[in-house]
Chains A and B, each alone.
Chain A
Amino acid sequence: MRVGQRILLVGGLPIAIAALIALAGWLLLAEAERARAGAVLAGTIYRTLTVATTVRDEYLGARPEERADHAERFARLTTDAAGRLADLRHFARTADQLARIAAAQRALSESVDRMQGLVRITRENDGLIAEMADRAAALVALADQARDRQRAANTDLVASLTEKARRLRQVRDVVAAVNDLRAAVAEAEIGASREATGGGAGVPLAANLVRVRNAARTVAAALRDDGRRDEAEEVLILAAAYEGSRAGAEPGILAAAGAPATLPAPVNVLGEWSERILKLDGTAQRSLHDEVAQLLAYAVQANETEQATQNIALATLKLAQRTADALSRRDPAAARAMLEEGEALSGTAAALPISPLIQGEMIDAIDGWRERLETTIGRLRRQNADIVEMDRLAATIGETARGLNELFITDADRYGESIRRLLLIGATAGLVLGSAAALAVARSITGPLRGLQRDMLALAADPSRQHLGAVERRDELGDMARATRVFVDEIGRRERALRRAKEEADRTLAELRQTQADLIQAEKLASLGQLVAGVAHEINTPLGIALTTATLVRDEARDFRPLAAGNQLSRSRLLAYVDRVQEGAHLLAANLSRAADLVHSFKQVAVDRVSDERRRIPMREWLDELLRSLGPLLRQGGHRLDLVAPETFEADTYPGALAQVITNLVKNAVVHAFAEGRPGRIAVALSREGAWVRLEVRDDGRGIAPADRERIFDPFFTTARHRGSSGLGMHIVYNLVTGRLQGRIAVESREGEGTTIRVEFPVEPAPEGASRRALPAGAAEEHSA
């Protein structure tokens, strides 16, 4: 048993027991509280849902335009109930309660869905009912239109009938008058024939003739009334002719009896005329009579039709109202009966001779109404089914909520009882156990602590001593002993590792130095090679001239010899020969001496390069020679190299190192400063500044990027590794200037405008070894060599 555990056992046991009791009590209290809150919530849900059902009933009973409020209220209530049900889940304790809540939630969500369906159907039904009312109204409007038209038509019809009746009366008057005339003429003829046969006392002829005349006048008047003036004149003339023939020419008839009549007798003419009028007017009378009868029949029929139209419209309107009532009572069976009535009505409208202008529309209106009603009834049935289902769901939810309420209350009571019991038992047990444990633990800690103290003191006196007595222990004391041992071991191991690492680093450094020196030497040799190539080239020119000249002199001599031998030599020819030889000798001498000079100077340069001894040199001449040896380097790119040295002076310095510096700087400019194919200019400026020589190598190339400027003196830094640069040239320069020459070096460069490298060194450098201290302030930072 570890120390901590023991202490924990002693101090913690009573605390833990107390805490456990408090926790259990608190939990039980919370549970009881929760159960009680759950009961309250369940009760609220039950009440909310009861209200929701009432609201739904109000919704169904409300007027269409007021329904929205009720639907909204229902939605609010059910959302509220759903929220509370979700809350109730947190209060649930048993699977049974959870299952009941889930069932209630399902039922509620279904109930909400049904309500949405109900709202949709109700809205559609309201729309349909309104549309049906519109259609019925349209029908009434159509019937009204028909009635208005009929009224206007009636006026026309009356006028038309009056006119026809007038014509009929006139024609009838004419026919009657003509018949009278014929009767009068017949009477007169009978009277006349009686008189002629001596048949005795009849009406006297004159009276008969007067009657004929009067009858003719009546006919003429009737004809004039009918607007037939010509025929009126005709009848009067014909009647007068007849009267004349009868009254004045009585014998004429007798005379004519035996002879063939050349002209028709006036009585026959009058008779024929009457026949014709009777034929035409008789048929006209019949025709007019027919027309009047037909018009009357039409008038009656039209009014009956109009009445029937009105009746249909009214019947439809009533039917629509009764249907709307049935629909608002939610009675599909009654509405179904209306549908059948509508069908009968449609049939009637189709069969009646309703005005063709509106018949089609009326039938369409009724049929459309019936179609809508059919749909509406179907929906009503679904709506009723939905309502029944919603009631069932509401009952289910209510029952569930009430059940939950009771469950939660029972739970709450049980928790209260549990808390009391727990407090009593827990307090007693905690007190007894705590006291016993405290005593036992205190003893088991103090002994081992003392042992460990001893061992630690011994180890401090001799770290190599590896033994610690308490290592084997399994408690905190053992831990301490083991940790101490590990600590001591670790210190020893680190000391050894440090020593090895240092030796390794020293060796590596030495190797690095050797490698760098090797590389620098290789670079120097390479530059010497270039020098030799340059020298060979420079010497080649004077030697070539000398050789050519020598060849010419030899040829001249060969040509001259036969002349001299054959005594053909003229004075002028001799003189010319001498001139030429003299000229050739002069050329030979000049060129060979130039070659010798070159060799001398290059020898000096080469010696300088390798010998590296200190010597006094005339700076301008020396520099001139050096630069000349660099000629081949420049020629390749077509660059120019100028020396700017206004004064001549001597310096006691290391020409080898200086040559190496200048060669490298020029080479560097040639390699890096200029773009491919663009010749540039390099100037070497020499001047003396008191005890210092200043040497500037300037180019007008592209300059050095600022990022590269600080690194150009770093070994192996180059931007032209692909062209074979080693990256050591400038490093060597730096080392030589700051080392052997005891000088300083600075770079000025601006991108696109060229680079100037300034080297300054003492005219008389201090003897080797004492030079470092003489460096002027502001010189470039030192690099360890």
Chain B
Amino acid sequence: MIRLLPTLLLGAVLAAGPAAARTLVFCSEGNPESLNPQLVTTTTGMDATWPLYNTLVEFAPGSTTIRPALAESWTISEDGRDYVFRLREGVPFHRSARFRPTRTLTAEDVVFSIERQWKADHPFHPVSGGTYSYFNDLGLPNLLAAVEAVDPRTVRLRLREPDATFLANLAVALGGILSAEYAASVRAAGEPGRLDREPIGTGPFSFAGFQPDVALRYRAFPDYWGGRQPVDTLVFSITPNAAVRLAKLRAGECHLMPFPNPADLAGIAADPGLTLLREEELNIGYLSLNTTRPPFDDVRVRRAVTLAIDKEAIVASVYGAGGTPARTPIPPNLWAYDPAIRDEPLDRAAAVRLLAEAGHPEGFEAELWYPPISRAYNPDGRRIAELIQADLARIGIRLRLTTQEWSAYRASMLAGLPQMALFGWTADNADPDNFLGVLLGCVAARPGGSNIARWCDPAFDALVTEARGITDQERRAALYARALRRFKAEAPWVPIAHSATFVAARREVTGYRMDPLGRHLFRDVSLRDPP
């Protein structure tokens, strides 16, 4: 009997030979705006870069705890301004048909990756558009004082002032480490843009191809420092419509899908072939009112809009079970949440009066942008836009609904084009500053910044900046409470909802974990053999 066993095993191995390449398919919700983590700001884009790249430090799966990644250890000086990272040894970069790395990861790559985003005179700074929105929104250009390679395995980062959020900021996508050697080779070939189009990283998967609107393909990187992946191929099958995503999931054309339609949640939960995964994400879906564009430069108009929108109806009909009406940008599961702040009730008459005071007794026309794809914070942009359209029509504001393809949409948002726009945010780290500073601070209000309401309120900004510099959570909470009241009074946004996020997966998927930061990560995800 025992003798038989190896033969049987061998048979099993042979049967599972080359024909049965293991392919994991993720029906993603849209095209990534770039394949360079330094250039992306949407979770769709970040999801596309996570398989390819590693950061110095990373959030442990399923949590927001920071753990070593490419840096095997680090030290922070007494004054909180010097960060010294010791790099993991022998981390290989991907190979491609046109690039064969001759060396493993060194401090040079880290310096390159940071300086590209930081230094305007860096040769790669203008490549692929040259906007590093997220890097700028986090205030890193002003925070960084020096980046230097002490030796091939040691990097020192010096800050101008201590920053409690710095380590967490290095763990977000923009902290992905690119190959300086690859950059030099594409630059020598006169095609620097290939650095971002044909990415080379250290991650668990290497890039295999991208067909916009169809698929993004990866291959398992056999020499990945964290071990070879259990699947051979990873495919993002780009499917914007949630109903089609679900159809594909049911058909087995994909193994995982994000953002199911809230209306389908019950059906998914009941399907024996599927698993529904839920995570209380740190996010906010909001209607942004561009404070630099008339008529929304008038706070009375913004307040009138706030008063006229039936938020409860939107949450109940579009978000379903996972949604919570939002009062401020801070989600209820974050420590800076202030339950004392409440929404004013729906009051059309007051809204009409405010409009009249602001000089719009007969209302006005405006453009409302809605996102073309589903997000946790906005499962159906079009329908929310239509509901808002109906609500505002009642007070005389006639809305034209408009949208664009997702990456173009995002670019328009960051450019500050729309008067009114539905947008949202999923935190990249569990710090309130990731909402208030990044989305509403004055730094982020410059062109290209993610403060799409372009609201720069000195009082608010001062409070948030002060809170960022201190570590005592209670004191910070007090400062944020004041800032939030200021936000309510000025109404640059109509906060709409916080939402739990859902992923539907086929039963054969193992090892997938929901991420509190809304990322979809496929490292170490495997497929059980179908019965």
Contact = CB atoms under 8 A, between A and B. Distances in A.
Contacts of B215: 353, 356, 359
Contact of B317 (A138, A284, A291): A284
Interface stretch (A54-62, A153-161, A414-422): A153-161
A384 interface: no
Nearest to A287: B383
B8 interface: no
B250 A282 contact: no
Nearest to A360: B233
A149 interface: yes
B387 to A, nearest CB: 6
Interface in A485-508: none
B247 A295 contact: yes
B251 interface: yes
Interface string A355-380: 11111110010000000000000000
8 contacts: A149-B253, A150-B251, A157-B251, A276-B313, A280-B313, A283-B387, A359-B235, A360-B233
Contacts of B244: 294-295, 298
B241 A282 contact: no
A157 B317 CA distance: 24
A703 to B, nearest CB: 71
B427 interface: no
A483 to B, nearest CB: 94
A356 B253 contact: yes
Most buried by B among A141, A156, A157: A156
B23 interface: yes
A286 interface: yes
A357 B253 contact: yes
A460 interface: no
Interface string A288-308: 001100110010001000000
B21 interface: yes
Contacts of B211: 351
A294 B390 contact: no
Contact size class for B? 35 or more
Most buried by B among A283, A294, A353: A283
B464 interface: no
B278 to A, nearest CB: 22
Interface in B309-361: 310, 313, 317
A356 B251 contact: no
B86 interface: no
Nearest to B26: A356
Contacts of A284: 317, 383
B216 to A, nearest CB: 9
A361 B383 contact: no
Given A138-B19, A279-B390, A356-B235, 11 more contacts: A149-B251, A149-B253, A282-B390, A291-B261, A294-B243, A295-B241, A295-B244, A357-B252, A359-B215, A360-B233, A361-B23
Most buried by A among B243, B310, B382: B243
A298 B249 CA distance: 13
Interface in A164-200: 164
Contacts of B47: none
B454 interface: no
Most buried by A among B211, B247, B261: B247
Contacts of A358: 23
A734 B251 CA distance: 127
A714 to B, nearest CB: 80
B136 interface: no
A259 interface: no
A152 interface: yes
A153 B251 contact: yes
Contacts of A164: 243
A294 B383 contact: no
Interface of B: 19, 21, 23, 25, 208, 211, 214-215, 217, 233, 235, 237, 241-244, 246-248, 250-254, 261, 310, 313, 317, 380, 382-383, 386-387, 390-391, 394
Contact of A280 (B235, B247, B261, B387): B387
B388 to A, nearest CB: 10
A235 to B, nearest CB: 17
Contacts of B253: 149, 153, 302, 355-357
A281 to B, nearest CB: 9
Contact of A286 (B235, B246, B251, B383): B383
Given A284-B383, A353-B214, A294 B241 contact: yes
Interface in A527-554: none
A564 to B, nearest CB: 127
A153 B19 contact: no
B217 A287 contact: no
Contacts of A283: 317, 383, 386-387, 390
B391 A360 contact: no
Given A284-B317, A290-B382, A361-B21, A279 B250 contact: no
Given A283-B387, A284-B317, A360 B23 contact: yes
A155 B248 CA distance: 12
A287 B247 contact: no
A352 to B, nearest CB: 9
Given A156-B251, A295-B244, A298-B247, A287 B380 contact: yes
A357 B25 contact: yes
Contacts of B241: 290-291, 294-295, 298
B77 to A, nearest CB: 48
Nearest to A295: B243
B385 to A, nearest CB: 9
Interface string A639-663: 0000000000000000000000000
Contact of B21 (A150, A355, A360): A360
B254 A356 contact: yes
Interface in A318-377: 351, 353, 355-361, 364
A334 B237 CA distance: 38
Contacts of A160: 243, 246-247, 250
Interface in A420-454: none
B251 A287 contact: no
Interface string A252-287: 000000000000000000000001100110111011
Contact of A287 (B19, B246, B382): B382
Given A356-B23, A356-B235, A360-B217, A286 B386 contact: yes
A138 B211 CA distance: 25
Nearest to B242: A291
Given A280-B313, A282-B390, A360-B23, A153 B247 contact: yes
Contacts of B242: 291
Given A283-B383, A287-B380, A287-B382, A356 B237 contact: yes
B250 to A, nearest CB: 5
Contact of B250 (A156, A286, A357, A359): A156
A141 B18 CA distance: 14
A283 B263 CA distance: 14
A355 B391 CA distance: 42
A287 to B, nearest CB: 5
Contacts of B247: 153, 156-157, 160, 295, 298
Contact of A149 (B233, B252, B390): B252
B256 to A, nearest CB: 12
Contacts of A157: 247, 251
Nearest to B219: A360
Nearest to A358: B23
A357 B23 contact: yes
A280 B254 CA distance: 32
Contacts of A359: 215, 235
